[in-house]
């Protein structure tokens, strides 16, 4: 039984409502953001652009998203968590619908950049809401379930857009994703419990910058931010150019078949929850390295020629990515202490800059060296992540964010 003054714990109705709402938010956010990924070859054909230019439809969105999230946490500190997330989901769904009506490539990119701004109100604020409202014993599971929604949304956005593109064209495929986003927004608004532990703070730039600076005096948070960059940078690069490889000889798969490959995302719904819960029991430092090791093995498998081995490699990359993201994102919330919103903002800034910078850079490697170039580039990112995980393993198990109020002993890093 949950009372309003207590943190939300798993097994309660409030926990189920929270996870339903945040599942819908993650589903909508990642569907709207990543629905362009299987459409990139279509953009290349329609607009006469190369793979690297087509990837800007995602990289520009994630780049703007990264910068906007640095400030959106502070806005939610002043305005409230739920209202910011509702406005973000509604405006983003409408922008995706508007994108189906434009004929010029620069205008489509402008709308995708604006989408990055409007979407920034969900990821950082959702992480902060969970850190504030959910009991520390349940936050690993709660974050894992939220990221499961991200996984299913990312998969569904790609799958819906890819399959409908084969039958009706990419505009219908993208429009269907926008319509689903509106439904998810309504479900989120109706389901999310109001904040019980939110304390409003005025939006002051100087104090906000001070809280950001405090994060970098911590022994572990900068390394966690680096892990976010490497995780999403590697993952997005693989999926950005996978469609080009599978549509070409010798595979020559259809858009529908390539869209179905994105069904591998469903593995993330299991790995994020399972690895997040496992890290809560055994300690994040003891589990994180395994996510990167699995991704590295998967990257090596994609270099093989047989299609089944390529798909097995994508499974391993996807499993490791979602598990690693679940661990790192919940770790940031625990370690940032009173600056949870700012910790989440900087982590997600790094995370989406990885998508923007590495996702676009991977196109240069693909253009110059084909898929082997992508494998080498992504392999280097994942290996760096594995080395950082080893550095995090050696950290002493305590929170120490200078100049910031400290959490209770319950909130110490495991």
Indicate the helix (H) or strand (E) that contains 209.
Answer: helix 205-215
For residue 76, what pLDDT is reported?
79
Q: Which of 6-15, 208-217, 344-353, 378-387 ranks highest by mean pLDDT? A: 378-387
Mean pLDDT of 171-175: 94
What are the residue ranges spanned by the domains of the chain?
A: 13-193+210-396
**What pLDDT, on a 0 to 100 scale, did the predictor assign at position 408?**
35
The whole-angstrom separation of Cα 218 and Cα 395 is 11
Mean pLDDT estimate for the chain: 85
Extract the tokens encoding 14: 């409030």
More confident of the two residues 64 and 404: 64
Contact 100, 171 (CB under 8 A): yes
Between residues 281 and 228, the one the model is more confident about: 228
20 pLDDT more than 90: no
Asked if residue 250 has a cis previous peptide bond (ω within 30° of 0), the answer is yes
- Cα separation, 92 vs 144, in Å, equals 24
The reported pLDDT for the residue numbered 200 is: 63
User: What pLDDT, on the 0 to 100 scale, is given for residue 4?
Assistant: 53
The residue ranking higher by pLDDT, 73 or 5, is 73
- Residue percentage of the chain with pLDDT more than 70: 91
Burial 289-327 (b: 16+ CB within 10 A, else e): bbbbbbbbebbebbeeeeeeebebbbbbbbbbbbbbbbb
> What pLDDT, on the 0 to 100 scale, is given for residue 58?
93
If pLDDT is split at 50, 70 and 90, which confidence band does 410 have?
very low
- According to DSSP, the residues that pair with 134 across neighbouring strands are 8
Report the distance separating Cα 328 and Cα 293, nearest Å. 15
Q: Top-level CATH class of 13-193+210-396?
A: mainly alpha
Does position 148 have pLDDT exceeding 80, yes or no?
A: no
Predicted confidence (pLDDT) per residue in 229-268, tens digit: 999 999 999 998 998 899 888 999 987 888 788 788 778 7
pLDDT at 203 (0 to 100):
65
Instruction: Give the C-alpha separation, 212 to 288, whole Å.
Output: 25
* CA-based max dimension of the chain: 61
Considering Cα of 169, then 175, then 181, then 186, what sign does the dihedral take? negative
Dihedral sign of CA atoms 251, 235, 92, 269 in order:
positive
Q: What is the mean pLDDT of residues 186-214?
A: 77
Give the pLDDT mean for 175-196: 91
Query: Does the structure show a pLDDT above 70 at 411?
Result: no
Distance between CA atoms of residues 208 and 48, nearest Å: 44
Q: The tokens of 282 are what? A: 């055994």
Residue pLDDT, tens place only, 100-139: 999 999 999 999 999 999 999 888 788 788 878 887 777 7
Residues 6+ apart with CB under 8 A from 181: 28, 31, 32, 89, 92, 93, 96
Phi–psi pair at 134, nearest 5 degrees? -100, 140
Residue 399 pLDDT > 60: no
35-49, 128-142, 268-282, 329-343: which is most confident = 35-49
- Write the CB contacts of 173 (distance below 8 Å, at least 6 apart in sequence): 35, 39, 160, 161, 162, 163, 164, 165
Higher pLDDT, 370 or 152: 370
Q: 214 near 336, Cβ under 8 Å? A: no
- Residue that wins the pLDDT comparison between 212 and 303: 303
In the chain, the percentage of residues whose pLDDT exceeds 90 is 42
Residue 7 per-residue DSSP state? P
Q: Are 238 and 299 in contact (CB under 8 A)?
A: yes
Three-class SS state of 8: strand
CA 49 to chain CA mean position, Å:
27
Residue bearing the bigger pLDDT, 264 or 92: 92
CA dist., res. 55 & res. 359, Å (int): 7
Please check the confidence at residue 198 and state whether its pLDDT lies above 80.
Answer: no
How does DSSP classify residue 33? H
Mean pLDDT value of segment 336-356: 83
Q: Does position 60 have pLDDT exceeding 90, yes or no?
A: yes
3-state helix, strand, coil in the chain (%, to 5): 80, 0, 20
Instruction: Tell if the pTM clears 0.85, that is, is over it.
Output: no
DSSP-derived 3-state class of residue 388: helix
State mean pLDDT over 351-380.
Answer: 93
**Which has more pLDDT, 340 or 224?**
224
Is the separation of the CB atoms in 129 and 73 below 8 Å?
Answer: no
Compute CA distances 337 → 214, 329, 391, 404, 405, whole Å: 11, 14, 21, 7, 7
Which among 358, 329, 361 has a CA at the least distance from the CA of 345?
Answer: 329
| 283-298 average pLDDT score | 92
């Amino acid at each position: 039984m949950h009372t309003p003054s207590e943190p939300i714990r798993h097994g309660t109705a409030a926990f189920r409502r929270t996870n339903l709402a945040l599942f819908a938010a993650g589903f909508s956010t990642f569907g709207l953001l990543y629905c362009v990924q299987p459409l990139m070859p279509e953009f290349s054909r329609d607009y006469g652009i190369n793979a690297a230019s087509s990837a800007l439809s995602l990289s520009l969105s994630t780049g703007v998203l990264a910068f906007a999230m640095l400030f959106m946490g502070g806005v939610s500190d002043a305005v409230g968590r739920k209202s910011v997330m509702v406005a973000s989901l509604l405006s983003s769904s409408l922008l995706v619908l508007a994108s189906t009506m434009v004929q010029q490539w620069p205008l489509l990119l402008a709308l995708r950049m604006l989408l990055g701004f409007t979407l920034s109100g969900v990821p950082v604020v959702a992480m902060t809401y969970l850190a504030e409202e959910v009991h520390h014993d349940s936050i690993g599971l709660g974050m894992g379930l939220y990221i499961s929604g991200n996984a299913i949304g990312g998969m569904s956005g790609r799958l819906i857009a890819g399959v409908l593109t084969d039958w009706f064209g990419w505009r219908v495929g993208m429009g269907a994703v926008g319509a689903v986003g509106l439904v998810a927004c309504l479900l989120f608004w109706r389901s999310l419990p109001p904040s019980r532990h939110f304390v409003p703070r005025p939006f002051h730039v100087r104090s906000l910058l001070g809280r950001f600076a405090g994060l970098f005096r911590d022994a572990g948070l900068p390394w966690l931010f680096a892990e976010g960059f490497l995780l999403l940078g590697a993952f997005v690069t693989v999926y950005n150019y996978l469609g080009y490889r599978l549509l070409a000889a010798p595979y020559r798969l259809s858009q529908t078949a390539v869209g179905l490959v994105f069904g591998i995302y469903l593995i993330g719904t299991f790995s994020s929850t399972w690895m997040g819960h496992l890290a809560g029991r055994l300690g994040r430092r003891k589990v994180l390295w395994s996510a990167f090791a699995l991704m590295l093995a998967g990257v090596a498998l994609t270099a093989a020629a047989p299609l089944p081995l390529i798909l097995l490699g994508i499974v391993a990359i996807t499993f490791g990515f979602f598990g690693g993201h679940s661990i790192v994102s919940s770790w940031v919330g625990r370690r940032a202490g009173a600056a949870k919103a700012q910790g989440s903002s900087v982590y997600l800034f790094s995370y989406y800059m990885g998508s923007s910078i590495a996702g676009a850079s991977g196109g240069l490697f693909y253009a110059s060296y084909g898929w082997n170039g992508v494998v080498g580039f992504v392999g280097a990112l994942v290996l760096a992540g594995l080395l950082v995980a080893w550095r995090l393993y050696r950290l002493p198990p305590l929170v120490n964010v200078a100049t910031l109020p400290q959490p209770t002993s319950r909130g110490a890093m495991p």
